[in-house]
Structure 1
Amino acid sequence: MRKLVRNTTIATTAVLVATLAPAAAGGGHHHHHHQSRLSTVVDGLDGPRGVDALGRGKTLVTETDGSFSLVVERRHRDPRVTELGSVPGGFPPAIAAGRRGRIYLLTGASGEPGSPQAPGAATLYEWRHGYDAPKPVFDVAAYQVGDPDPDDLENLPADSNPFGLAALRDGSVLIADAAGNDLLRWWPDGTVKTVARLKPRVVDVPDGVPLPEEQVPSEGVATSVTVGPDGYWYVGELRGFPATPGTSQIWRIKPGSVDAVCDPEDPRHGRCTRYADGLTSIVDLGADHRSVYAVSLSKLSWLAVESEEPVPGAEIGALYRLIRGHHQVRVKELASDRLTLPAGVDVDRRGIYVTGPVFGPGALSKIR
């Protein structure tokens, strides 16, 4: 778990969080969706996370060992799973299909925060049919050394843990860096720009977390990015320590932005505005022609999952559908209380594809 949230911990995470209570998703009306049909597409996967629905029953999925595979659904037969290749493992990479058969994979950080990255970590890879192996095209960690986080709270402003990925139609790629608290954009010619920075937020300290203060600043931790139905870029937050439930936000960023600021103290102005609030431990986003979808790793927060003391129910995550209305965002939970440590989401005409649990044996599932 520490590899997922390696930049969010302060000192040790062996804290007593048994009294943490679930927080409902917010930012609008919240409804449970009891009619969702959840089915398994393929199981026997090892810690599946990255997912990209290509349409016509074809889906890309990644696993903990760094492998990525194509899953092809077949009528009245088991799906066909073809491994395409692999990148350095340890934590399943993000994945996104780009133009002209290109597939992009994004590896996260390795080791403890502030330590040198292992070869192949914190790197964007490109793969196409005919490649012997994915080739590294962008060293994210090296870029972040020259682009430190001005609002870092942990004395590691140049730390990097790239986590979320989205391929754009013009051939560029968006990268959400969970340690850099920012959104980057990479072009195939090697150009890189910082699209937006997520500023910290002051949060209440949950009951059971041994801090003397009642409120503390907490980093945004950008884990996820998608292109919304309106063409804007959406970024989801995990929320740093103390991982207060109900404090994860989704930001809406104007396409083409450079150095935008996502500020919880001024969330309605500028090129980055707040789309939704009141969520918990967001680890992935997806979108279709109408809605944005958000995956919550745990309704109790990632800290409850990471706790050395078992927290009942901490393994229950959630998938939310967010629909923008005239005055607010409507939030619906899909497959309520049926997702265990979900990790990734993507959508096509056949349904909503979800991966998880992100640790141990898992599956690619579909919600109709």
Structure 2
Amino acid sequence: MVQHPARLAMVGLGAAALVISGALPAQAGGGHGHHHGHKHHEKITTVAELSGPRGVDSIAPGKTLVTQDNGDLSLVVERGRHRDARVIRLSGLPESAGFSNAVSSSHGRTYVLTGAGEGAGSATLYRLMGDDLTPVADIGAYQVTDPDPNDLEDFPEDSNPYGVVALRDGTVLVADAAANELLRVWPDGTIRTVARVKPRTVAVPDGLPATDPEGNPLPPAGTQIPSEAVTTSVTVGSDGYWYVGELRGFPATPGTSQIWRIRPGTLDATCDPEAPDQGDCTRYADGLTSIVDLSADRHGHIYATSLSKMSWLAMELEVPGSEVGAIIELSHGGQQSREIAEDKVILPGGTDVASNGDLYLTGPIFGPGALMKIR
């Protein structure tokens, strides 16, 4: 069977996008580490206009770190209801490194993460030191020595760091979408694998064309095929556990993205969809779609950000309505969920919860976008 790229170049999730003609039918589907407050979130207001905003981290009420598609790391400072927020550029990445998909700060230490790319500085964890972003760890180089044992695409050394959360002890968690694993990075650059997420067998959705761009036949709808997890996101819950979210690789079947719960301090665990309740990595939630970010509040809620409720593949195929994403609030051990600001979230980049309970959101991720607040 022909294997298909699980990553998306267009959203910084990998080297090659699957570009095919045709359309998927409309289907609904259901980082940061701050343990903050909780409110019922419905109204969206624009805080500041940005360019292709991605990563977001609330460091204090009214003060939010954001990354943009021009490589900038900025601090957005709100100045009251009747004054525009101030956007302060803190630093920027070298052009060769691309842009940062994620940012996280803890105890005055701020980190940004670059994704896959051919230029120097890509697939790297950086720390803000004064006005400069200083490399801490080369994630791409590490993955060459730590190939994915469950790779489906004949590229087990692939790396595309996408999610980051700074821990209180000075270490940093990194979700690598291409390697399908969670990493832990120490201040001296040491990297260890926390957990690897195995592929999942999913049913091919309706509406795919008969062949891929090279003319290779694609499996018909309903065919069961293995699909990589594509681990895009990580957060720390109010219980102290580490949570990891999946995008889901080709065929991007809606409702097949999972969230995993990992015991703090774990190394070399396996997250197995066939045995989701065993070991140090267990399944927290299922039935989600195209997760690109996770955040948490102090009351035990996990917020899963979906790039598109139809799936990333539907978005890539430009299916009408596929630009509508979602923020799903999960509680009670992942057994209860509700959508926040239903149908108002467009191609989101990320979310984070402030200490006063306000939920911050970035998007759309392409072209003109904004930092927004949901309260």
> 2-side partners of 1:206 and 1:212: how far apart?
10
Q: 8 Å contact 1:66–1:93 — kept in the other structure?
A: no
Partner of 1:127: 128
> 2-side partners of 1:35 and 1:68: how far apart?
26
Instruction: Provide Cα deviations, 1:147-170, integer angstroms capped at 9, x if missing partner.
Output: 000000000000000000000000
> 1-side partners of 2:72 and 2:54: how far apart?
11
Q: 8 Å contact 1:347–1:353 — kept in the other structure?
A: yes
Please say if 1:262 is aligned against 2:271: yes
Partner of 2:370: 363
Q: 8 Å contact 1:343–1:358 — kept in the other structure?
A: yes
Aligned residue identity for 2:228: E
Please say if 1:340 is aligned against 2:346: yes
Q: 8 Å contact 1:236–1:284 — kept in the other structure?
A: yes
> 2-side partners of 1:3 and 1:92: how far apart?
14
> 2-side partners of 1:186 and 1:198: how far apart?
18
> 1-side partners of 2:347 and 2:64: how far apart?
20
Taking the TM superposition and a 5 Å limit, the aligned residue runs for 1:1-368 are 2-4=9-11, 6-7=13-14, 12-19=18-25, 21-25=26-30, 36-43=42-49, 45-75=50-80, 76-88=82-94, 90-99=98-107, 101-110=108-117, 117-128=118-129, 130-131=130-131, 133-209=132-208, 210=210, 211-212=218-219, 214-290=223-299, 291-307=301-317, 310-324=318-332, 329-348=335-354, 349-368=356-375
| Percent identical residues | 59
**Gap runs ≥5 in structure 2:** 1-7, 31-38, 211-217
Please provide the CA RMSD for this pair.
Answer: 1.8
Pairwise CA distance, 1:62: 0.6
Instruction: Provide Cα deviations, 1:6-57, integer angstroms capped at 9, x if missing partner.
Output: 54968x42142332x32332xxxxxxx99611111112x1100100001121
Q: Secondary structure at the match of 2:282?
A: strand
Alignment coverage as a number of residue pairs: 345
Structure 1 segments of 4 or more deviating over 6 A?
none
Aligned residue identity for 1:158: E
**Gap runs ≥5 in structure 1:** 26-32, 111-116
Q: 8 Å contact 1:355–1:363 — kept in the other structure?
A: yes
> 2-side partners of 1:91 and 1:342: how far apart?
16
> 1-side partners of 2:292 and 2:274: how far apart?
23
TM-score, length basis structure 2: 0.88
Q: 8 Å contact 1:8–1:219 — kept in the other structure?
A: no
Instruction: Provide Cα deviations, 1:112-142, integer angstroms capped at 9, x if missing partner.
Output: xxxxx310100000113x34x2111100000
> 2-side partners of 1:17 and 1:255: how far apart?
42
TM-score, length basis structure 1: 0.90
Pairwise CA distance, 1:306: 1.2
